[in-house]
């Protein structure tokens, strides 16, 4: 069981007195390519991917929200796991990579964990001090600029 201190420090972000920037603990640069992705771009990419899933869903199933969610999940899982980005990520200049550095491929296990939690919504809207959602923390991934 996690203690209150562990949970509190995770929710509050960087330790007090640290002068770091978002993504510093992952070895990311502060600005430019490879730096931590800003929230606006991430939300824009998510909205664009949802729009694509909605159009495909409407074309084949009419108005069916669960079909849209299923198409969104399949698109996200396949593209992030294999390429490291969705169509929305690519348009907004983002990519998903493991937070451990090294090989820039997310892989199918991390992609599956990330997609399932993203589709549950709540884990995606709870962020840590770096701005990573619980879905990225659980999958050990980070979204960076291209």
pLDDT digits (tens, 9 = 90+) for 17-76: 456 788 888 888 888 898 899 999 999 999 999 999 999 999 999 989 999 999 999 999
φ, ψ for residue 144, nearest 5 deg: -125, 165
| Confidence (pTM) | 0.83
**CA–CA distance from 120 to each of 96, 103, 113, 134 (Å)?**
19, 27, 11, 11
Is residue 83 over pLDDT 50?
Answer: yes
H/E element, 76 = helix 65-82
Closest CA to 45 of 67, 65, 72: 72
pLDDT at residue 13 above 60? no
């Amino acid at each position: 069981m996690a203690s209150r201190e562990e949970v509190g420090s995770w929710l509050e972000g960087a330790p007090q007195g640290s002068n770091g920037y978002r993504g510093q603990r992952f070895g990311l640069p502060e600005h430019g390519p490879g730096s931590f992705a800003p929230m606006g771009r991430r939300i824009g990419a998510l909205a664009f991917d949802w729009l694509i899933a909605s159009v495909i869903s409407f074309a084949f199933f009419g108005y069916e929200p669960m079909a849209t969610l299923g198409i969104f999940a399949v698109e996200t899982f396949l593209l992030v796991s294999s390429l490291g980005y969705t169509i929305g990520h690519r348009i907004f200049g983002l990519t998903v990579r493991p937070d451990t550095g090294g090989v820039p491929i997310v892989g199918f296990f991390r992609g599956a964990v990330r997609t399932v939690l993203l589709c549950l919504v709540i884990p995606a809207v709870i962020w840590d001090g770096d701005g990573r959602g619980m879905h990225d923390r659980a999958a050990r991934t980070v979204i960076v600029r291209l």
